[in-house]
Chains A and B, each alone.
Chain A
Amino acid sequence: MNYSMTSLIKQAFQGHKGWPVGWRDPEPKKQYDAIIIGGGGHGLATAYYLAKEHGLTNIAVLERGWIGSGNVARNTTIVRSNYLLNNEIPLLEWSLKLWENLSQELNYNVMFSQRGVLDIFHTNGQRDEAVRRGNAMIMNGVDAVMLNKEEVLKQVNIIDPDNGRYPILGGLLQPRAGTARHDAVVWGYARAADRLGVDIIQGCEVTGFLRDSDGRMTGVETSRGTINAPKVGVAVAGHSSQVMEMVGIRLPVESHKLQAFVTESVKPIIDTVATFGVGHLYISQSDKGGLVFGGMLDGYNSFAQRGNLPIVEDVAEAIMMFLPTLGRARLLRHWAGVVDMTMDGSPFICKTPIDGLYLNGGWNYTGFKAIPGAAWCFAHTMVHNEPHPYNAPFDLDRFSQGRPVDATGGGPFPNHH
C-alpha cells in the first residue's frame, strides 16, 4: 500500500486497523544473487539501491539482531556535506542530494529537516580553517555561508555572547544541511527494499564465509543455515574487524565508542544544528523537544554500548560554557555507539582482496549522513565490481599506496579523528 493522504483518511475511518505490515519476515532461501550482512541504514539502503538501480531483486539482508539495532539508532541524526577535501566532498554531497528527495523516493517520511548546520569558531585560526573549508565546499558546488558574530547570535540566541575565554567570532553555515529521523530512515529503506522483493532476515547471525577452490565467495554460514550467493556485501559498522577477520582480513580499524545525550523535552529554543569549536560539542533539538547533543570519543578501544562518565562531565562543561541557560535541563538518557575508527578518519566502500566480497565500513561516527550516498555507491561497486568515482578514494589499498584521506591531518591514530 502506498502511503498517501487518501490512504491515511481511509485508514482513519477504519480505526487504523487496516495498515499492512511494513515488511515481510521471510525464511531465508538457499540461494540469492547477493547477500548484505548488516540490517542497519547502510545495509538496507544498499539492498534498496541494488534492487532499484540495478534490477537485482533476489537479495537478502541478514541481521543478527533486529533491523536498526546498531549505530543508525544511536547517532545524533545530523546530515551535512561541509567537508574539506576534494576527494571526500563529492560522496557526501551526492548523499545530501539523495536525502533531499528521500521521503518522496521511499514513500516514507524520514523527516529530513534542512535546518542548517552552523560551525561556530572562537579563534582567528579557526576562522581561517572555516574560510578554507567554506571555499573548498563552494568550489565543489556545496552551499556555504560565513556568518559574523551578530548573525550567529541571531540564529542561535541562547549562546552566551560574552564568553571571555572563547569569544564567538562567527560561524560557517551550511544551510542545506540538517537532521533526519533515524528510525524512519531504517524503516523507510526496509519497506522500500521489501516492496522490491528484498528478503530482510532478522535474528540471523553470520558465523562464517564459504569460498570455492579458487577462493571466490560462494555464500555464508549463518545461525539459520547455509545461504549461497556469489556476491556478499559487509555493512556492519562497529564490528567490521570481527566480520572481516572470519576471512582473514585485518583492517586498519579500531572500534571505539561515541556517546550521545538527550535532555527532557523543552519548548523550541534552537532551530538549527550548532557545533562549538572549543573541545567538541554539537547540539540540536528533536521534534519531540529533547535537546540532542554529543561530544568526543571515549578514547580507547571498546565494544561496550555505554559511555563513560568523564565524557559526560566534559560535554556538560562545554554546554555550561556556551549555553548556560541549559544548566537546569535534566539529562534524560545517554548512550554510546560502537564505531569503526579508521587510521585516516575516512570510510571503506570497496572491493576486498577476495573475489565477490565487498566492504562498506570504517565510518568513524560519520555514517548516518552518508547512508544514501554510500549505499548507492556500494551497490554500484557490487554490481560493476569496480567503484564509482565518488567512492574510488575509499579503498583498502590507500594506506599502502600512501594516499590516506585524512581531513584533520591527525595521522594514524584512530582516537584522534
Chain B
Amino acid sequence: MRIPCPLCGERPLEEFTYRGDAKVKRPDHDAPIEDWVGYVYVRDNPKGDHQEHWRHSGGCGSWLTVNRNTVSHIINSVEEARQTEESRISEKTQEKKLA
C-alpha cells in the first residue's frame, strides 16, 4: 500500500502511522457520559470505505485524513487533517494564477 501524501507525494506504507476512525469527535465538556464512552471506545468499523487518520511520521509529519477501502485497500482521497500555512498560500497563488 502506498499513500499519496499531499505534501510529499506517493510514499510507502512504512512511513506512515495509523491512528484510526477520523469521524470521532470530542464531545462537549458537559455532554452525557454515554457520549464520552462512545468517544473513547466506540468506532465505525465499515467493511468498505473508511475515513481515517494517518500521520506521515517518517516524512513531513503531517496528520492526514485518508478515505480508504478496507477490503481492496484502494485509497479514494487524502487530505491534510488541518491545512498548513504553506498549502494555504500555494492554494491562494494557484487561485490567483487561475484568475
A400 to B34, CA, bound (A): 7
The total of chain A residues at the interface (CB under 8 A) is 24
A300 to B33, CA, bound (A): 28
Main secondary structure of the interface of B (DSSP, over half): mixed
Q: Are B52 and A252 in contact (CB under 8 A)?
A: no
Q: Are B42 and A303 in contact (CB under 8 A)?
A: no
Main secondary structure of the interface of A (DSSP, over half): loop
**Chain A residues with CB under 8 A of B90:** none
A412 within 8 A of partner (CB): yes
Q: Are A303 and B41 in contact (CB under 8 A)?
A: no
Q: Are B45 and A301 in contact (CB under 8 A)?
A: yes
Min distance, Cβ B68 to any Cβ of chain A, angstroms: 8
Given contacts A255-B45, A300-B18, A308-B13, contact A412 B40 (CB under 8 A): yes
B43 within 8 A of partner (CB): yes
**Chain B residues with CB under 8 A of A343:** 40-41
Chain A positions 354 through 371: 1 when the CB is less than 8 Å from some CB of chain B, otherwise 0: 000000000000000000
Min distance, Cβ B34 to any Cβ of chain A, angstroms: 7
Min distance, Cβ A176 to any Cβ of chain B, angstroms: 35
Q: Are A415 and B13 in contact (CB under 8 A)?
A: no
A252 to B70, CA, bound (A): 17
**Chain A residues with CB under 8 A of B4:** none
B91 within 8 A of partner (CB): no
Given contacts A254-B45, A412-B40, contact A301 B13 (CB under 8 A): no
A241 within 8 A of partner (CB): yes
Which of B33, B43, B73 is close to A252, meaning CB atoms less than 8 Å apart? B43
Q: Are A412 and B73 in contact (CB under 8 A)?
A: no
**Chain A residues with CB under 8 A of B21:** 254
**Chain B residues with CB under 8 A of A308:** 1, 13
Residue on A with the closest CB to B50? A301
A254 to B33, CA, bound (A): 22
Residue on B with the closest CB to A253? B45
Q: Are A303 and B1 in contact (CB under 8 A)?
A: no
Residue on A with the closest CB to B1? A308
A171 to B43, CA, bound (A): 37
A83 to B16, CA, bound (A): 32
Min distance, Cβ A348 to any Cβ of chain B, angstroms: 12
The total of chain B residues at the interface (CB under 8 A) is 25
Please provide the chain B residues from 1 to 42 with a CB less than 8 Å away from any CB of chain A in the complex.
1, 12-14, 18, 20-21, 33-34, 37-38, 40-42
Interface CB pairs A-B, < 8 A, 25: A239-B47, A241-B45, A250-B38, A251-B42, A252-B41, A252-B43, A253-B43, A254-B21, A255-B47, A255-B70, A299-B18, A300-B18, A301-B20, A301-B52, A301-B70, A303-B70, A303-B71, A304-B71, A304-B73, A310-B13, A399-B40, A400-B37, A412-B41, A413-B20, A415-B18
Chain A positions 222 through 244: 1 when the CB is less than 8 Å from some CB of chain B, otherwise 0: 00000000000000000101100
Q: A250-B44, A301-B45 are in contact. List 20 more A-B contacts (CB 8 A).
A: A239-B47, A251-B42, A251-B45, A253-B45, A254-B21, A301-B20, A301-B50, A302-B73, A303-B71, A304-B73, A308-B1, A310-B14, A399-B40, A400-B33, A400-B34, A412-B41, A413-B20, A414-B20, A414-B43, A415-B20
Min distance, Cβ A166 to any Cβ of chain B, angstroms: 21
B94 within 8 A of partner (CB): no
**Chain A residues with CB under 8 A of B40:** 343, 399, 412
A302 to B1, CA, bound (A): 12
**Chain A residues with CB under 8 A of B84:** none
A303 to B73, CA, bound (A): 9
A304 to B52, CA, bound (A): 17
Q: Are A304 and B72 in contact (CB under 8 A)?
A: yes
Chain A positions 288 through 318: 1 when the CB is less than 8 Å from some CB of chain B, otherwise 0: 0000000000011111100010100000000
Min distance, Cβ A318 to any Cβ of chain B, angstroms: 16
Residue on A with the closest CB to B47? A303
Min distance, Cβ A136 to any Cβ of chain B, angstroms: 26
Closest 8 CB pairs of A and B: A241-B45, A252-B41, A300-B18, A400-B37, A399-B41, A343-B41, A303-B47, A303-B71
